[in-house]
Structure 1
């Protein structure tokens, strides 16, 4: 499929894409590279995957405007729009829900029983898995916990299974991606209200024609049964247009900035 002439005239060898490291670097490359190869084939636009080792390093790169495109969590989008003007292009239609899990055989039945205890999270600003969950625990449930940051969702689930931490934060779709033997050992103790999920966003320096070509190509791929699995692999199975004012600006009213931990430059 030919790329629109405006996009072709303003493109370059490659645009960088930063993906929030909810999973290992190997998993991210396995899931994203086939989609990016098809995107380049159909549109002529090459997105080059850039992997950050940790979520805080990913945040620092995005907030500094280093990534041309970024797949990031809802509150990362709020932060990135405020810092650099990142524009959300597409997202999945299914709401994102944060979950707090415990071992299936653990006697804990209420989050109040976590008072003063150590709870695992991927990173401070992982939206549903940590940021919103910690805010709800403190503000709504009046529960004070000791957060332990374990870098990825998979690490959190495994630490809970092994009994290294009593509970852990994640989101529904990352738990669904886990091995059967991991999921079989966990149960959900608490779930957050739903929110618009992770968008794929572009820095405003990316020409509008390029953003439009990427958006339209992804929507076409999502609409075709033959290529829809490429979107499902990156957790965008029911793709739709994203909108900053409708989807992400409303998160400002929750005052989650009180629970944000800003990345340290150079860390």
Structure 2
């Protein structure tokens, strides 16, 4: 687990923790999130500790246990976090929706989901929403047998497919587009799931309404200048909008994904 201490007003004695789901390497996440949290901290006169768990399951255990004050999580993590600790979503990107994708090597003979019968498929983690849960549920409901392997991050999925370790892999468009051109050019999307509201930043209910509102307003305010918009692009929330659990995420409870959730994954 990687931590960056006190990104904001260093006079604050009780900094807030901000956990970020590790879709990318710790270095990439720190590069994107640290300057944003520092700027938000200066504006709110608060201090934020950036916490980057080593794996997605470690992140999940932290939010289910209520360790995070704020957390950037996938949509189904929000369902899990709300059920366990009543984490409330504050903000999400309003410019796009989230869809899961299945990728194969660009020269693979696989063309459709049906071609994945008995294939070994790489996923970042059991509970990654678009990149794992939606895809595994779709394959199971379609009666297509497959073997799942979990390789810890989206970046690992894409590279393992390119290297031929697996016949296909699960991801999302945002992380695929984040990859370098030499990675993207060797991959082809063969299936795209339905679209849903993307990853929210959520708050633990123990945080005061005034502090949560200040945090929200500071991030919304970053849209007003070019440097702020660049920071938002870095964390993949280019157009932050306010969201709520009831309006934006509660409907995910009806997708029947709970039987595919694994809470004790290593």
Residues 185-234 of structure 1 show CA distances to partners (whole Å, capped at 9, x for unaligned) of 00101001110000000000000000000001110112333311101100
Runs of 5+ unmatched residues, structure 1: 1-7
Distance 2:147 2:75 in 1: 24
CA RMSD between the two structures: 1.3
| Preserved CA contact (<8 Å) 1:112 1:143 | yes
Structure 1 residue 13 displacement after superposition: 3.0
2:129 equivalent in structure 1? 127
**1:88-237 pair list within 5 angstroms:** 88-93=89-94, 94-139=96-141, 141-237=142-238
Distance 1:40 1:217 in 2: 9
2:45 equivalent in structure 1? 44
Distance 1:98 1:138 in 2: 15
The normalised TM-score by structure 2 is 0.93
Structure 1 residue 19 and structure 2 residue 20: aligned? yes
| Preserved CA contact (<8 Å) 1:59 1:263 | no
| Preserved CA contact (<8 Å) 1:57 1:263 | no
Runs of 5+ unmatched residues, structure 2: 1-8
1:72 equivalent in structure 2? 73
How many residues are matched?
255
| Preserved CA contact (<8 Å) 1:21 1:28 | yes
Distance 1:107 1:113 in 2: 9
Structure 1 residue 42 displacement after superposition: 1.4
**1:44-63 pair list within 5 angstroms:** 44-63=45-64
Moved over 6 A (4+): none
Distance 2:132 2:117 in 1: 16
* 2:98 partner SS: coil
Residues 98-151 of structure 1 show CA distances to partners (whole Å, capped at 9, x for unaligned) of 110000101111111111110000000000000111111111x32121000000
Distance 1:200 1:12 in 2: 23
Structure that is richer in strand per residue: 2
* 1:82 partner SS: helix
The normalised TM-score by structure 1 is 0.93
Distance 1:210 1:144 in 2: 48
Distance 1:12 1:202 in 2: 19
Check 1:192–1:12 CA distance in 2 against 1; reply closer, same or farther (3 A cut): farther
* 1:192 partner SS: strand
Structure 1 residue 40 displacement after superposition: 1.1
* 2:249 partner SS: helix
Distance 2:55 2:260 in 1: 18
